[in-house]
Structure 1
Amino acid sequence: MNDDDEEFHCRDIKNDSKDDNSDSYEDEDEDEEPFKKPTDQKTDSEVIAKEDDKIELSKIKESRYNSKVEDDNTDDEEEERGYQEKEKQPQESEQGDREYGHSKPHDDYSEDEREESTHDEDETEEEGFIPDPQTHVVTFIYEDDLTEPVLLKDNIFERAKDSLHLDAIPDKLPGREGEKAHIQAFLEPKINLGESGGTLYIAGMPGTGKTATVKEIIKNLQVKRKKSAIKLFRFIEINCMQLSYPDQLYQTLYSKLQFGRRSARPKTSEEALRLLKKRFNSNSAKKDFVIVLVDEFDCLLTKKEQTVIYNLFEWPNKPASKFVVIAISNTMNLPDQLSSRVKSRMGLQRLPFQPYNTQQLESIIKYRLGGLEAFDQDSIQLVAKRVATVCGDARRALEICRKAATIALQQNELDNLVQKVTDTHIDEVFKQFSLPIRRKLNQLSLFEKLFLYCVCKESKRINSLEVVYGAVYRKLQETTLSKGMYCPTESEILQLAGSLGGYKLILFEDDKPINWDHLLKLNISQVDLFYGLEEDEDLQTII
């Protein structure tokens, strides 16, 4: 038995004594096993790692780099030898080009090569790679930690869905130029003065761009601050829907003023209120100028206790407060529900956000798409018109468009014939969204449906989710009399409202008996309800 055989024999017997530094031929084969030998053609070295822990990432990157250098050098040499010599080795260059995602211009191929190229692309699609739908070219990318070519699975409808997603924050909000100018004119002088504060009350229906507009202006001011065009300021945002009770605003506000440090958060609301009063009563020049955005401000409103709102509006009026409050609410008539004591501190700076009209909604949708031709013009106009007719909610319009893109994507996967979203897809979305409501409407009487229709119209008229029962009552009377119909009596209309409240289709402000000034609001989507009412056979000739 020779020395090598004796060595292997010992290793077989003693399995627990492995020599990591062995120079035997078999160990070398084991180390080399994950790597494939280069083929005759000049391609990337393919690495198949059976055990990930055995192959270092640095070796993979080095192998890729050396292969790319070799391929680049080959291309340079071919250019120097000229076009004729390059034609002699078409397979090598084409293979290398295909692996790095390059391809020859279509005109440079012979007929045989074109057929072969088409065949290769078909095979690529069968393996799960999807060509770009607009250029019909398969595009590969290499990532730092990958050795295999990766194709970005991209589709025009998928990109449209991403662009229309509600969480996608655009860099600019079209359609609110006047409101932007008002907010900036309110904030910028106060920041530059650096002493006095103020309060701005913004109200409008949901989806009218209130919060997004304010944030866009804050972002612009922060850019100016970086350029030293205005003085230093801090921006704080509080969403009142996240508060368990109104007094919790004191703790949240003080904690954010202390840069969110947990150790600085007061344990009780009373302690936080004491610290806040101390801060705003101080004339210290070291205080930061602070802008606070209080979103969903109407959540702080209670009939019994309005002290939180009073304090929030009182602090900006303190001398050298350096404190500005921007309160955003979905209720236009909220100031009317405040006590005279609170109103005296609210100030006169109020900015209503009217619902988006058809043109504004069109511009918002097109801006979100960013030139992506996934929708035809008629489909965008249809969405904008229907949503603007009911509530002007941009978020609802984007949601409808996104769902239409999903339907088009599903159809495109089946027959590959759908090129754009059309008004047919939009109609399908409206039908799907309104289907549960249409089922409920089928169980209602004619006058119950008319009552809901009048709630929609009154809500749109006053630009508020909450409407007064007496106004809906008058609207119902006007509608029936104008159509020559029977007009229900006051007690019958009261019974209609109570019945709809029992179905949870409308909500009342409290459980007290319904009176003329009672506030109520819809408990369902206005857009879906209005579409369902328009499609209802009983109301075709009335509305």
Structure 2
Amino acid sequence: MIAWEGSICGALNRLLQNVPDGDWICEFCVARKAGKNVELPWIPEGKKMRRTAREKLLSGELWAARIESLWREPNGVYWIKCRWYVIPEETTAGRQSHNLRRELYRTNHLSNIEMESVIRHCYVMNPREFGGAINDGDDVFYCEYEYDVRWHSFKRIADVIDADNNEEDGNDEVWKSSDDSGGDSEGDSDFDEEEIDALFSFQDIPIPELAANSRKGRIFGLHKIGVKKIPKHVRLHKPSNMESAKSMLLPTTLPKSLPCRTKEMEEISSFIEGAMCGEQCLGRCLYIHGVPGTGKTMTVLAVLRNLRVEVDAGRMQPYCFVEVNGLKLASPENIYRVIYEALSGHRVGWKKALNLLNERFSKGSNVGKEDNRPCILLVDELDLLLTRNQSVLYNILDWPTKPNSKLIVIGIANTMDLPEKLLPRISSRMGIQRLCFGPYNYQQLQEIISSRLKGIDVFEEQAIEFASRKVAAMSGDARRALEICRRAAEVADFRVEQLSQLSKTTSLTKACPKEKHFVSIDDIEAAIREIFQAPHIQIMKTSSRMSKIMLAAMVHELYRSGLGEVTFEKLATTINSLCSSNREAPPGRDTLLKVGFKLGECRIILLEEGLKHRFLKMQLNFPSEDVTFALKDCPEIPWLSKYL
């Protein structure tokens, strides 16, 4: 028999190297129970007591996470998207008497981290599974509730309703790994060498200034993760200039400053500051329109980022900000649920959310912790909220007109004359304040690309100017210009890699100085050919005469109305008008319908499923500049270039 209490001392790891004969009782445990002062054996310098991963997790030194997805970057590094778990001490309520020792809370916070941060596999089970997991090992934990890191509220996981498919999620899926290199084995020594801990900082999470049950003066929150020792070649890897350039040219990368939109930023800033004058907040609406890729949404977000600095400095009253994108809504009515959840932190159906929001903005009743603050609502892709009776747009634009709403609505769409297409009761509430974002010219595109590549000398100036002129001549879309430059950087990087491999395999061993490689005009041309010589562009070039006229009419209608979708009846009217103006025999409705179905089979356009051919909705499946590039120099129909 061996009598030892590991929770009192660690003597078993220090003294026993083999199983003793007969009975053995730990003398340190006996002395401590008797109330004597016990001095434990000293730990060698540079060593530390070995603890299991479970003990480190429950003491806040490691983190548990549920892996949602895994992918590999072009540079070969694996990344994961994970949902974090927290221990009760890291919540605002702290550890309560009903909390189990192995209990965790699942949070609603997701992060992207490198796969190198994963130590090993653990099991997080629901109450039923945890009750039967007696012999499932040490890395087994219990989870019954979800913790909201913003509103500091708890909700049973079985009651959490998914916003998309309304399915219950009461079971945690775990990631299975065959590599258990981070675990403890029987051959491990009694003491582990000191390891380097890497910390990941998450600044976008609202963490309380002092969490409950903080231990040893440390503040706990979702702001760090303990990891195993990262290999030296990974830890000391410094990205090259070409890799940094490709990273900065991603359209999703937010630049430090937004060039070429100073005037628009000043107008948006003055609009918001004018609505929030003094301690009052006047409900207002601002409509922003312009062709795609002109920086409408990014400009508004940059203005709000600057205003947040004013709020932190105390020069402006606090406000709450809600951003909604129409493309991410399953139906226009779901915008009520998204707005209410952002204000209150609770998930309800859209009908109940509409009633509560009406009380909030019409009567000034409280629905959340930030109700007394003004609210700035940014609705991107506003035209996608159109319904048959236009009730969704009416409610959103009617709320700012109420005396106690304190609501500022900023709508963004590509359609210039959207207010004129709405019902009079809606267009009157939208107001007269509009802001137009025109397409970028080549000087502005050149400045945008150069600002992102500031301090990274890998592009020739002529190459940037050439790409800017090409894009400005077609659409003025900044995203397309960044895409071309990034692809050119990849082409140049591949060319340099091929040259380096060729130099290693050749018999020439003369030492020659390394040349500094730049992205040249040839690389830009190769990227443009690759982008604009895709299979769908070749199909457009070789399509029939009437197919080309239909595609040109769809682009013309897109530029005229700003709406991506067009009905067959309206498109047929536009085609007849174009043909009559250019002495072309107008086709019949049956012919146009066959041409439309043919383009739909090739996936050049998207057709709505249904039998109502007259009101059949049609939409381009590719950017309009691809159609312009394919048909602008068509020798068969030269007059098409006037409408592209």
Residue 385 of structure 2 is aligned to residue 300 of structure 1: yes
The one-character-per-residue Cα deviations of 1:115-142 (angstroms, maximum 9, x if unpaired) are: xxxxxxxxxxxxxxxxxxxxxxxxxxxx
**Which residue of structure 1 aligns with residue 266 of structure 2?**
181
The correspondence for 1:162, drawn from 240, 243, 247, is 247
Q: Answer whether contact 1:191 1:233 (CA < 8 A) is retained.
A: no
CA deviation after TM superposition for structure 1 residue 362, in Å:
1.2
Q: Answer whether contact 1:390 1:526 (CA < 8 A) is retained.
A: no
CA deviation after TM superposition for structure 1 residue 369, in Å:
1.2
Residue 488 of structure 2 is aligned to residue 376 of structure 1: no
CA deviation after TM superposition for structure 1 residue 269, in Å:
2.0
The one-character-per-residue Cα deviations of 1:33-78 (angstroms, maximum 9, x if unpaired) are: xxxxxxxxxxxxxxxx9999546343789xxxxxxxxxxxxxxxxx
* Counterpart Cα distance in 1 of 2:536 and 2:363: 56
The one-character-per-residue Cα deviations of 1:484-525 (angstroms, maximum 9, x if unpaired) are: xxx42122698357514531334578975569xx98653212
Change in Cα spacing, 1:534 to 1:344, as seen in structure 2 (3 Å) is closer
* Counterpart Cα distance in 1 of 2:439 and 2:562: 7
The correspondence for 2:325, drawn from 228, 239, 247, is 239
Matches within 5 A, 1:18-417: 54=189, 56-58=192-194, 145=229, 148=232, 151-193=236-278, 194-258=280-344, 260=345, 264-266=346-348, 268-283=349-364, 287-302=372-387, 304-416=388-500
Residue type at the aligned position of 2:539? K
The correspondence for 1:495, drawn from 591, 595, 607, is 591
Q: Secondary structure at the match of 1:56?
A: strand
* Counterpart Cα distance in 1 of 2:465 and 2:327: 34
CA deviation after TM superposition for structure 1 residue 449, in Å:
2.6
TM-score norm. by structure 2 comes to: 0.56
CA deviation after TM superposition for structure 1 residue 454, in Å:
5.3
Q: Answer whether contact 2:290 2:416 (CA < 8 A) is retained.
A: yes
* Counterpart Cα distance in 1 of 2:544 and 2:424: 43
* Counterpart Cα distance in 2 of 1:206 and 1:542: 22
* Counterpart Cα distance in 1 of 2:251 and 2:237: 23
Change in Cα spacing, 1:528 to 1:374, as seen in structure 2 (3 Å) is farther
Q: Answer whether contact 2:606 2:620 (CA < 8 A) is retained.
A: yes
**Which residue of structure 2 aligns with residue 17 of structure 1?**
19
How many residues are paired up? 408
Which segment is superposed worse, 444-453 or 360-369? 444-453
Change in Cα spacing, 1:155 to 1:493, as seen in structure 2 (3 Å) is farther
Q: Answer whether contact 1:508 1:520 (CA < 8 A) is retained.
A: yes
Change in Cα spacing, 1:207 to 1:277, as seen in structure 2 (3 Å) is same
Change in Cα spacing, 1:506 to 1:378, as seen in structure 2 (3 Å) is same
The correspondence for 1:424, drawn from 519, 522, 532, is 522
* Counterpart Cα distance in 2 of 1:346 and 1:473: 34
**Which residue of structure 2 aligns with residue 116 of structure 1?**
none
**Which residue of structure 2 aligns with residue 41 of structure 1?**
none
Which segment is superposed worse, 530-539 or 387-396? 530-539
Residue type at the aligned position of 2:447? S
Q: Secondary structure at the match of 1:326?
A: strand
Q: Answer whether contact 2:359 2:365 (CA < 8 A) is retained.
A: no
Structure 2: runs of 5+ lacking an equivalent: 1-15, 22-43, 48-181, 198-226, 501-514
Residue type at the aligned position of 1:296? E
CA deviation after TM superposition for structure 1 residue 367, in Å:
1.1
The structure that is helix-richer by fraction is 1
Change in Cα spacing, 1:398 to 1:59, as seen in structure 2 (3 Å) is closer
* Counterpart Cα distance in 1 of 2:351 and 2:518: 59
The one-character-per-residue Cα deviations of 1:456-507 (angstroms, maximum 9, x if unpaired) are: 46645666656763455545555xx4xxxxx421226983575145313345
Change in Cα spacing, 1:334 to 1:542, as seen in structure 2 (3 Å) is closer
CA deviation after TM superposition for structure 1 residue 175, in Å:
1.6
* Counterpart Cα distance in 2 of 1:60 and 1:353: 50
Among all aligned residue pairs of Structure 1 and Structure 2, give the percentage whose two residues are the same amino acid: 33
Q: Answer whether contact 1:205 1:463 (CA < 8 A) is retained.
A: yes
| CA radius of gyration, larger in | 1
Q: Secondary structure at the match of 1:171?
A: coil
The structure that is strand-richer by fraction is 2
Q: Answer whether contact 2:474 2:629 (CA < 8 A) is retained.
A: no
The correspondence for 2:540, drawn from 424, 441, 452, is 441
* Counterpart Cα distance in 2 of 1:244 and 1:348: 30
Change in Cα spacing, 1:438 to 1:282, as seen in structure 2 (3 Å) is closer
* Counterpart Cα distance in 2 of 1:273 and 1:510: 31
Residue type at the aligned position of 1:387? V
CA deviation after TM superposition for structure 1 residue 386, in Å:
2.2
Q: Secondary structure at the match of 1:320?
A: coil
CA deviation after TM superposition for structure 1 residue 357, in Å:
1.9
Q: Answer whether contact 2:417 2:561 (CA < 8 A) is retained.
A: no
Q: Secondary structure at the match of 2:408?
A: strand
CA deviation after TM superposition for structure 1 residue 313, in Å:
0.5
* Counterpart Cα distance in 2 of 1:458 and 1:444: 20
